[in-house]
Amino acid sequence: MRTIAEFEAAARERLDPAHYDYFAGGAQDEITLRENETAFQKLRLIPRVLRGSDKRDLSVTLLGTPSSMPILVAPTAFHRLAHPDGELATARAAARAGTIMIVSMAATTAIEDIAAAAREVAPDPGLWFQLYLQPDLEFTEAIVRRAEAAGVKAFVVTVDSPVLGRRERDDRNAFHDLPPGLFVENLRNIGENRSGGNTSHVREIVMSAGLNWDHIAWLRSKTKLPVLIKGLLHAEDARLAVHHGVAGIVVSNHGGRQLDTVPATIDVLPEIAAAVGGALPVLLDGGIRRGTDVVKALALGADAVGVGRPVVWGLAAGGREGVSETLEMLRADFDQALALCGGRHPADLTPDQVRR
Ligand SMILES: Cc1cc2nc3c(=O)[nH]c(=O)nc-3n(C[C@H](O)[C@H](O)[C@H](O)COP(=O)(O)O)c2cc1C
Ligand SMILES: CCCCC(=O)C(=O)O
């Protein structure tokens, strides 16, 4: 396999069409879904010359978690829909690659098992945990305690989903439940399960339109781990994130799956990076398919990027080996693009190297 697009084609051949549509699709007319990729394609790079190095160092440290490259595994739900080994395969591949995996709260494997699989491969794997804060805060706190006990190093609160986006492919396919035997495992076995034990419903996780900054303060009071927020697009929200003491932000439109017609993440990154002014790490996801996309995001102010669908395609196409190949392909592609831009380290990339 040579490109993410080839992995996607291989995944599509193997997947149930309704499951492929769930992974691939976006909200409504999928305008944002497409724009996440085309916005990168419209940007032009201006390389610097005569200042590179035979040896590049791609490593970064994000909120105390080292990563061998500034390319992380974004949280995506339901990996066992993509491959029987599910999140175990993804976690082993991410640990092998030495990169951070942000485990979805909607994983089809329990966080304890994911952490154990990662530890088989690396003694101290970089696992972060994504949270949808549930209106029942006691229930939410139980999930937080469980993830902490499993050894995660940060929490990533997704804030772009006050309600779930309308994915018309899922409506068309009537995809609303996981197949028999698959469950949202991180919501199971938490005391008496308040959701009534049926965690196989795709919409089982409660989206809370009533969340506000007080809930973020609440979470910060409940954990010593860094708390990031994921899914902001407005510079004023980035300023508020700094004001409210969050540890980091992820500029994200949820891969075009929430509010359709929001801009591509790369197009709002410069204003958000300016608003944050280096006060905290800025991550970005959405549409990263090539090393040049990574270079553009870092040059415009991101400290690292996340990849969602590319990991799912690798997983569906080849399980753990497929995810490893995907991550190594992205690493090599980024390394080459960095070299061609005259950089030795991710931090060498600067905004003047990107032109609209
Ligand atoms: C199939 C799928 C499931 C996702 N599940 C979650 C999730 O459970 N939690 C979350 O915060 N984001 C979720 N996302 C959003 C991703 O974290 C990320 O923002 C997005 O996939 C990035 O875009 P990309 O797929 O173009 O790389 C999901 C995305 C996809 C495609
Ligand atoms: C209720 C699970 C939501 C998973 C998700 O975030 C997505 O499909 O984008």
The pLDDT value given to residue 188? 83
**Any binding-site annotation on 289?**
yes
**Any binding-site annotation on 285?**
yes
CA of 54 to the centre of ligand 1 (A): 35
Catalytic status, residue 19: no
The pLDDT value given to residue 195? 47
Q: What angle do CA 186, 190, 195 make, to 5 degrees?
A: 80
The pLDDT value given to residue 199? 57
| pLDDT, tens digit (0-9, with 9 covering 90-100), for 295-351 | 999 999 999 999 999 999 999 999 999 999 999 999 999 999 999 999 999 999 999
The pLDDT value given to residue 133? 97
Residue 48: how many other CB atoms lie within 10 Å: 15
Measured from the alpha carbon of residue 254, the closest ligand is 1
Residue boundaries of the structural domains of the chain: 4-350
What gap in Å lies between CA 31 and CA 23, rounded to an integer?
16
Residue 282: how many other CB atoms lie within 10 Å: 23
Measured from the alpha carbon of residue 75, the closest ligand is 1
Q: Which of 60, 242, 227, 251 is nearest to 153 (CA)?
A: 227
The pLDDT value given to residue 202? 56
CATH architecture of 4-350: Alpha-Beta Barrel (3.20)
Percent of the chain whose pLDDT exceeds 70: 96
Q: Which of 91, 5, 39 is nearest to 253 (CA)?
A: 39
Coil, helix or strand at residue 146: helix
Residue of the CA atom closest to atom 2 of ligand 1: 76
pTM exceeds 0.90: yes
pLDDT band for position 205 (cuts 50, 70, 90):
confident
164-173 mean pLDDT = 98
The pLDDT value given to residue 191? 53
| pLDDT, tens digit (0-9, with 9 covering 90-100), for 68-88 | 999 999 999 999 999 999 999
**Any binding-site annotation on 319?**
no
